[in-house]
Amino acid sequence: MSSEKRLLVVFLQFIRDRFNLESDKADEQETLEYIRKGVEFRGTNLWILIFAIFIASIGLNVNSTAVIIGAMLISPLMGPILGIGTGVAINDLELLQKSFKNLMIAALFSVVTSTLYFLISPLSTAQSELLARTNPTIWDVLIAFFGGLAGIVAGSRKEKSNAIPGVAIATALMPPLCTAGFGLATGNMYYFLGAFYLFFINSVFISLSTFMIVRFLRYPKKEFINEARERTVKRWITFFVIITIIPSTYLAYQTVRQSIFERNALVFIDKELKFENTRVINKDLQFDRDRQRIEVSLLGDPVSEEMIENARTHLSNYNLANVDLIVYQGYDEQLSHASIASSLRSGIIEELYKQNEQSLRSKDEQIKLLETELTRINKLSTAPTELYPRHCSPLLPISVLIITYLYIRMETKLIPFTWLMLNLIGSH
């Protein structure tokens, strides 16, 4: 044998030894029994789930990441999902049906519990932790898939590691169900459907990764004495896989398309819509199956239509050839007061968050821009109708800019005051 072949054999043996899953593998029947026990939602498991839902709902309500993580650590939601993947892998229709039934029960109790909490909670504002669960992305799909791989590998070991609690945190099965309850409690079906879609995607891809590992580890399939019964079981399992995988694959594909669109759109806005003495204060990315749209609101010196049209010609450079670009400038008479206030609040709040991540140099640039804008508005204060609609308070733009200016100067000390003033402005 040549030296090159010997090196290749040694290398392959090294890789096989390092990635071997058989050395500390638990007894197969012991692992299957462990999975079956985690499937059932009755007594202790159900009470723990309800308490965890209350904790997670409170965490979402007060925007506390630590509380949400604590709720995910004690949640038993992973059990039925692992059971579904295992049932498909070993042709166990009874385990599959039991797991699916208990997953539906768990989802129902979770949504009802969170809905009841949000109905009685005095806090009805959708915080950032809650909003993050209403619009799934490709990253959620990948996290669910790799989290499921980690979960079933850890569950099949002799010594159970801390990977399973980590998987519960990473895949975040509970917060979407709580967000769905918030959507029902507030009558917001967009939140409900988006959150439940995230839960569905997570469940499907965790089950898929479980199926792959169980088959890879060659767990014994359930044997049937009656061949007709075996054919019936296989048909039902195939039917279940098809009705689950087809819609989830389509939805995952749409999620990938939307994520790519949003990424390209943000890059386009950052690169092509940067004008001197003018800033994008709000952006709205609308993704539909047949049509996409980018809407931006600009604050500062007016930008000529020629420059905007020139930016449109560059859309194809960002794979946005069929995307509509709509630009709003200043205080258009066609925009309602509520729309103006909402755009300004969204833009200013976004800038406040960005301040915590940017360097001090960017603050100096923002201060200079705000000082210029304040000077311009003060000069034009004698002609208010040209700046905003008649029913819009003339103090609106000046107040928002002054609040932002003070925030940048004094940083986080004015955060509560800023939020209060922005909401007061929007209510007039």
CA 393, CA 428: separation in Å to the nearest integer? 8
Give yes or no for residue 225 having a pLDDT over 60. yes
**Per the domain annotation, does 235 fall within a domain?**
no
Assess whether 214 and 346 both reside in one domain: no
pLDDT tens, residue by residue, 150-198: 888 887 877 766 666 777 777 778 888 998 999 899 888 888 888 888 8
Per the domain annotation, does 195 fall within a domain? yes
Residue 339 banded pLDDT, cuts 50, 70, 90: low
Residues 38 and 173 in one domain: yes
On whether residue 136 sits in a domain, the answer given is yes
Q: Same domain, yes or no, for 74 and 213? A: yes
Residue 2 has pLDDT above 60, yes or no: yes
Higher pLDDT: 355 or 138? It is 138
Give CA–CA dist 132/154, Å, rounded.
28
Average the pLDDT over 31-35 and give the result: 85
Instruction: Please write the tens of the pLDDT for every residue from 58-84.
Output: 988 888 888 888 888 888 888 888 898
What is the reported pLDDT for 109?
93
**Is the domain of 204 the same as that of 64?**
yes
> Looking at residue 249, what is its pLDDT?
75
CB 40 within 8 A of CB 49: no
Among the three residues 186, 205, 222, which one is the final residue of a domain in this structure? 222
205 in any annotated domain:
yes
Structure tokens at 49: 């789930």
Q: Tell me the mean pLDDT in the region 211-237.
A: 79
310 touches 286 (CB < 8 A):
no
Q: Is the pLDDT of residue 116 over 90?
A: yes
33 pLDDT above the threshold of 70: yes
Those residues whose C-beta lies under 8 Å from the C-beta of residue 49, and which sit 6 or more positions away, are 41, 75, 76, 77, 106, 109, 110
Residue 388: its pLDDT value, please?
44
Check pLDDT > 90 for residue 111. yes
Q: Among the three residues 222, 255, 279, which one is the final residue of a domain in this structure?
A: 222
pLDDT value of position 147? 85
**Which pLDDT belongs to residue 242?**
77
Question: Which of 168, 203, 222 is the last residue in one of the domains?
Answer: 222
Bridge partners, 157 (sequence order) = 25
What pLDDT, in 10s, does the model give residues 349-382? 555 545 555 555 566 666 777 777 667 666 655 4
Enter the DSSP assignment of 23. Answer: T
- Residue identified by tokens 């200016």 is 405
- Parallel, antiparallel or unpaired: strands 323-329 and 278-287: unpaired
pLDDT at 243: 74
Residue 279 covered by a domain: no
For residue 346, name the pLDDT band (cuts at 50, 70, 90). low
Both 348 and 215 in one domain: the answer is: no
Same-domain pairing of 202 and 53: yes
* Residue 55, pLDDT score: 92
As a whole number, mean pLDDT of residues 405-410 equals: 52
366 assigned to some structural domain: yes
Q: What is the mean pLDDT of residues 218-244?
A: 76
The amino acid occupying position 349 is I
Cβ neighbours around 260 below 10 Å, total? 13
CB-CB contact of 220 with 208 (8 Å):
no
Least confident of 236-240, 264-268, 313-317, 380-384: 380-384
In a domain, 264, yes or no: no
Residue 344's pLDDT band (cuts 50, 70, 90) = low
DSSP string computed for 69-85 = HHHHHH--THHHHHHHH
What is the span of the domain harbouring residue 384?
336-428
> What total number of domains does the chain contain?
2
Predicted confidence (pLDDT) at residue 409 exceeds the cutoff of 80: no
